Amino acid sequence: MNKTFLLTLIIVITLIFVVLIKKNKTNENSIVLKEDSVILAFGDSLTFGYGAASDFSYPAYMQKKTGLHIINAGVNGEFSSEGLKRLPSFLEQKPDLVILCHGGNDIINRRSAEDLKKNLLAMIDLIQKSGARVLFVGVPSFGLFGFDTHEVYVEVAEQRNVLYADDVIANIQKDDSLKSDYVHPNKNGYEMMADNFISLLDLSKKESF
């Protein structure tokens, strides 16, 4: 084994180790909730529940399955810049957790990825400053050749070290049986979102769950 090969091997192993550390750090802990915890579901049409009746949005499913009080603050067609302006009034309700799922309209309308990132970072900063925890949801690229999660969301999750639901929406987008149209889930898709988010929460202190 020559020195060049050995050096290359060490570099590759080190890079893999660093990537794994970052990934684990982003999703290091679940979020502990108590029986009286309040969850704010903040976002656009994916939060509102477009494509399904109001009883079948992901916040409605989560409330039904957990018994927790969940505020659905989703607005159809909203851009991240608008969400950033709207968020403070909802934070006045002092939620314990905010599920942030925003930016799909920016992506579909090909708005600046840099501005989207700045808006998402600013929203997370507002949430954390309010004392609430964050569950950040990755949104896919909605491209012609696939629905992988947009790279902006990975970057934001790592920079702010928040609990991150990476690919649940991307996986729904790849399965037509879970969608009501090209972009939005149907009731089965929204239930899948709810189940994924619940799995990231520690409800062990909630007696009735």
Residue partners of 158: CB distance under 8 A and separation at least 6: 22, 25, 26
| pLDDT, tens only, 85-122 | 999 999 999 999 999 999 999 999 999 999 999 999 99
| pLDDT, tens only, 128-165 | 999 999 999 999 998 755 689 999 999 999 999 999 99
Closest CA relative to residue 102, chosen from 20, 45, 180: 45
Q: Check residue 4 and give its pLDDT.
A: 58
Q: Check residue 143 and give its pLDDT.
A: 75
DSSP per position, 90-138: HHTT--SEEEEE--HHHHHTT--HHHHHHHHHHHHHHHHHHT-EEEEE-
pTM: 0.84
Q: Check residue 54 and give its pLDDT.
A: 85
pLDDT above 90 (res 10): no
Higher pLDDT, 80 or 20: 80
d(CA 207, CA 101) in angstroms, rounded, equals 28
Residue partners of 147: CB distance under 8 A and separation at least 6: 140, 141, 170, 173, 174
Proportion of the chain above pLDDT 90, given as a percent: 77
